[in-house]
Chain A
């Protein structure tokens, strides 16, 4: 394998990491029947909180934990609105995104003022179990969070398809009345799904600020949350197919980085936009076949 290809694959895994974390999170929410458009803001908030806590304590892992907690809080807020009060999910999710982006920027100004250069920290180092071995070495030269994100795919699959928790999530997302009649606590299940979802989204944000960038910028998420929403549809609400979607998007993204370097006569933004357009194209192809969870967007009310 040539160096270009190995580098491309390694970069793909890196780019795919936050997408994978966010998408798995959104998957949980949507399988339980909640479209969480708060994802963009939750990732942003996670990136910010992770960065601040990591920077202040000197412990990056503490930063990750803080980001997860921040994400969980966001999930709880979404649950309060969409599960408890039955508010329109589109508007409440977008509201949460706007709130958390505003809150993060507010906090950023409070902590850092208006710096000319974005504040930076020493980011996570990479783990290279294969050292300098050809092919495997550079391929497995990744952040711990990347390994964790990919390891989460089978874990999420197992949770969804092999546990009572997953069974309940799938049931409340398809037919909450039936789940309720069977003795499942629909509200609790949806709350838990949103909590797990929020935690994963927070971690996705922390990966960007604490590993990939080692900094916090206003454009740190730049629509990645929306890409995750698209990937859930693209992956047909299945954790394994979602993985392929994240890799495809990550691959296109990594490729555009390399195409930029090769100096093609096109503005680099063309390549930046490419993955978004590819995603839209993929959605168009999936089209009517998309098997949305039947209860998605529908608040559940007894009586």
Chain B
């Protein structure tokens, strides 16, 4: 018998655009307690948090520097999630890209930049793909839950990095657990003098553009969304769901790999264990806040980059632990998720 469908009418546009604003307000109210516990004035703290980073060109550019890996991991996660593949492994795939970049950065010594830098990008992408391959294959061929395998592989690659840095790659000069510095020709050029903003930012923006183009303008994108939103129906309509998911998973890994390349070739110039403070996981926050849409992901990544930068400003200026930034980001995610649902709930009741 026909059960009546609960109509969840889409909220008006102005309402939707209001959600992020409300979410940010609620988040800051919730996290104000922590600021007070740290002995600082919340209003002052949030001025440092959100406004101070934008008040000078140097620090504003630093926001973009912070956003660079986040744009990529956000795009990586969004790409996989859009196809219904829960890749929680962007963190590990980022490290795979970073390992490749650290290696290529040495062996490409003497190769001119025009050749070396594209090779770095290709190599990092390939490494990300490679690290994303086992869980993707296990998912498609054996129906093994990708959430668990990608999470476990995140731990495994950290051991690999540690083994490399404490073994063959240990810096012979300093003895620190860091790989030798990459060749000058493989270093990403700076976009603006006297800032750290590097080529990776352009790569990230191009990736976001590609994310938009693929998801909304290509057959692959429609197939991915179909597979993500209704696997059985997509299969029925002739979509090769397995291939589509596999493609999405691998491209997602490749994009995360690019983030690793950027951090090595644009920021650190060698591989270190702490090359990512969890950019891959933050990518999940960004992809979700951005609603898996390219524009949303771009905006969310830059906002999260602002919070990251702001957290350091707050820490320096007021002595509030820098981890406030992590707490704010996670809280923002949870509050936004809650608001999305609450909004539907109200409409349903109306």
Contacts and interface: CB of A to CB of B under 8 A. Distances in A.
- Please determine if A and B sit in direct contact within the complex, based on CB atoms under 8 angstroms apart: yes
B175 interface: no
Interface in A247-292: 267-270, 272-273, 276-277, 279-280, 283-284, 286-288, 290
A109 B148 contact: no
Most buried by B among A81, A227, A229, A283: A283
Nearest to B338: A85
B232 to A, nearest CB: 15
- Counting chain A residues whose Cβ lies within 8 A of the other chain, the interface size class is 35 or more
A106 B34 contact: yes
A269 B330 contact: no
Contact of B321 (A86, A94, A110, A287): A110
- Counting chain B residues whose Cβ lies within 8 A of the other chain, the interface size class is 35 or more
Given A94-B284, A269-B162, A106 B167 contact: no
A106 B342 contact: no
A203 interface: no
Interface string B92-109: 000000000000000000
Nearest to B339: A85
B65 interface: no
Contacts of B142: 284, 287-288
Contact of A92 (B38, B134, B145, B337): B337
Contacts of B86: 90
B156 A105 contact: no
A87 B338 contact: yes
- Describe B's contact surface by its main secondary structure: helix
A87 B145 contact: no
B333 A98 contact: yes
Given A98-B330, A270-B163, A284-B142, A91 B152 contact: no
Nearest to B168: A267
Interface string B108-146: 000000000000000000000000001000100011110
A98 B148 contact: no
A164 B119 CA distance: 62
A87 B344 CA distance: 12
Most buried by A among B38, B134, B149: B149
Contacts of B341: 85-87
A185 interface: no
B240 interface: no
B324 interface: yes
A141 B284 CA distance: 43
A226 interface: yes
- In order of increasing CB-CB distance, the 4 nearest A-B pairs are A102-B326, A109-B321, A99-B330, A223-B155
6 contacts: A97-B281, A223-B155, A226-B148, A267-B166, A283-B138, A284-B144
Given A91-B288, A102-B329, A229-B151, 13 more contacts: A81-B338, A87-B341, A96-B330, A98-B330, A102-B327, A105-B321, A226-B152, A227-B152, A267-B167, A269-B166, A279-B152, A280-B152, A287-B142
